[in-house]
């Protein structure tokens, strides 16, 4: 009883509120529908339990469901790990290399960022995911990625069951003529006959579950592919954008330096082990990180401070060259833009040709920033903030005043 009480704490019960959100409700609903229909179709109409294959198939379906839910709830309730409130580096001199968060009243540890949704600084923050109603970061990155892997695999298995159930049950009921197709919805020829006939309601439910399974396979599979690309480089989505701005800064000021991402261990296997471990516990403490040769612990944070001090690089100015309706997954902007739509609660913004955008971060095919409503780029004017496709905009030419700066002044900036 004492052990039970030590597990069920007030803080843990508070975490259950994360389930009361549209993201987890939809995600768990899809899992429940696909899993339940796959088991029902398999047992009643396709592969009964009294056969060896049917028993193995049923156990595999249960196994998929358990593993998917286990990693899903781990990602949701374990969370990404937060920088302790009031945290500061052991060596006070190191604070000069770090940004200070006024909300958390603490310095931002390397690779950490403040999340407006969680209202905390998140260790190794990748993004805030609405489907788990939590951030993806240091502690739950492995569980989140495993969920992205297992969900499509389980849906592929379920989709196979759905297709084979409809095929075997309808095969003897379809009569194809030259001009007509006649469908007889009587019981299928099976020995022994199924306890419950495969009627119109079962067909509609199976077809609906098949659509969910195929849609989940494509959408979640794309997210898994994106996550694995950054994991194999030991990056996060935010760090990819910071690296892009770092290269832009060096090119703009014509500096004699090359930006080296400090957390890339040099091989994909070593990078993979930074996230996935046999114990399930990620390496390190989320505050200090191993870096490659030639870099030190604060190489990346120093670059962040440079970008913060540089108003030009803090937000990149873009001009809209193609209208955008503000759709979540626009079909007319390319297949890659459609499938890589940011998985976030943050809004999309409608764009019209000729408008200007200040982009502060982004992905490969999407950018996030502010649309300035006034013609003048003045601090404090009204702005509309959100995501928009990268292929709808182009970078604006540099300001004339900046372009006329002497070559030596550019290099000294």
Q: What is the per-residue pLDDT across 236-262, written as a single tens digit (0 to 9) for each? A: 989 988 888 888 888 878 888 888 999
Q: What is the pLDDT of residue 46?
A: 85
Q: Which two tokens stand for residue 199?
A: 């009627």
Q: What is the pLDDT of residue 312?
A: 57
Domain(s) of CATH 2.30.30.40: residues in the chain: 315-395
Q: What percent of the chain has pLDDT over 70?
A: 83
Highest mean pLDDT among 4-8, 19-23, 408-412 belongs to: 19-23
Distance (Å, rounded) from C-alpha 297 to C-alpha 94?
10
- pLDDT exceeds 50 at position 379: no
Averaged pLDDT, 268-273: 94
- pLDDT exceeds 50 at position 87: yes
Distance (Å, rounded) from C-alpha 246 to C-alpha 252?
10
- C-alpha triplet 343, 344, 350: angle, nearest 5°: 100
DSSP state of 165: H
- What are the pLDDT digits (tens) for 53-72? 889 999 999 999 999 999 99
State the alpha helices, DSSP H only, in 42-84: 52-73
The three-class DSSP label of residue 245 is helix
* Phi, psi of 371, rounded to the nearest 5 degrees: -95, 120
- Residue 140: pLDDT band with limits 50, 70, 90: very high
Q: Which two tokens stand for residue 226?
A: 């994106």
Q: What is the pLDDT of residue 189?
A: 46
Residues with a catalytic annotation lie at 129
**Which class does domain 315-395 fall in?**
mainly beta
Higher per-residue confidence, 380 vs 406: 380
Question: DSSP of 351-413, one letter per residue?
Answer: B-TT-EEEEEEE-SSEEEEEEESSSS--TT--EEEEEEEGGGEEEPPPPHHHHTS-HHHHHH-
Q: What is the pLDDT of residue 239?
A: 92
- What are the pLDDT digits (tens) for 342-351? 877 788 999 9
| Rounded alpha-carbon distances, angstroms, from residue 95 to 91, 112, 376 | 8, 14, 37
- pLDDT exceeds 50 at position 412: no
Element (H, E) at 128: strand 127-129
DSSP state of 138: T
Distance (Å, rounded) from C-alpha 4 to C-alpha 12?
12
* Phi, psi of 150, rounded to the nearest 5 degrees: -70, -35
- pLDDT exceeds 50 at position 277: yes
């Amino acid at each position: 009883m004492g052990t039970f009480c030590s597990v069920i704490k007030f803080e843990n019960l508070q975490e259950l509120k994360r389930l009361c959100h549209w993201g987890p409700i939809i995600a768990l609903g899809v899992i429940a529908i696909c899993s339940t229909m796959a088991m029902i179709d398999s047992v009643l109409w396709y592969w009964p339990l009294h056969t060896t294959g049917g028993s193995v198939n049923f156990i595999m379906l249960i196994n998929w469901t358990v593993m998917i839910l286990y990693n899903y709830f781990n990602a949701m309730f374990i969370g990404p790990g937060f920088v302790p409130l009031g945290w500061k580096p052991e060596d006070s001199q190191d604070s000069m290399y770090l940004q200070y968060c006024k909300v958390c009243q603490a310095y931002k540890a390397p690779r950490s960022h403040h999340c407006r949704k969680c209202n905390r600084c998140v260790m190794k923050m990748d993004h805030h995911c609405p489907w788990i109603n939590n951030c993806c970061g240091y502690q739950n990155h492995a569980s989140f990625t495993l969920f992205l892997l297992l969900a499509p695999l389980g849906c592929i298995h379920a989709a196979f069951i759905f297709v084979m159930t409809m095929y075997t049950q309808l095969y003897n009921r379809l009569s194809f003529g030259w001009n007509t197709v006649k469908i007889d919805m009587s019981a299928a020829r099976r020995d022994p006959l199924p306890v419950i006939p495969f009627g119109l309601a079962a067909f509609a439910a199976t077809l609906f579950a098949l659509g969910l399974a195929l849609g989940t396979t494509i959408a979640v599979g794309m997210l898994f592919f994106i996550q694995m690309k950054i994991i194999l480089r030991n990056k996060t989505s935010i760090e990819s954008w910071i690296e892009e701005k770092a290269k832009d800064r060096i090119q703009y000021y014509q500096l004699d330096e090359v930006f080296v991402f400090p957390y890339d261990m040099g091989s994909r296997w070593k990078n993979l082990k930074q996230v996935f471990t046999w114990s399930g516990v990620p390496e390190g403490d989320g505050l200090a990180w191993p870096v490659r040769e030639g870099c030190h612990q604060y190489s990346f944070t120093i670059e962040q401070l440079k970008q913060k001090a540089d108003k030009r690089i803090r937000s990149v100015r873009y001009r809209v060259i193609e209208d955008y309706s503000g759709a979540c997954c626009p079909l007319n902007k390319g297949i890659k833009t459609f499938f890589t739509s940011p998985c976030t609660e943050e809004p999309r913004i409608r764009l019209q040709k000729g408008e200007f955008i200040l982009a502060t971060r982004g992905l490969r095919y999407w950018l996030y920033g502010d649309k300035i409503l006034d013609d003048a780029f003045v601090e404090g004017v009204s702005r509309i903030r959100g995501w928009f496709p990268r292929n709808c905009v182009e970078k604006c030419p540099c300001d004339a005043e900046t372009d006329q700066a002497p070559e030596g002044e550019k290099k000294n900036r």
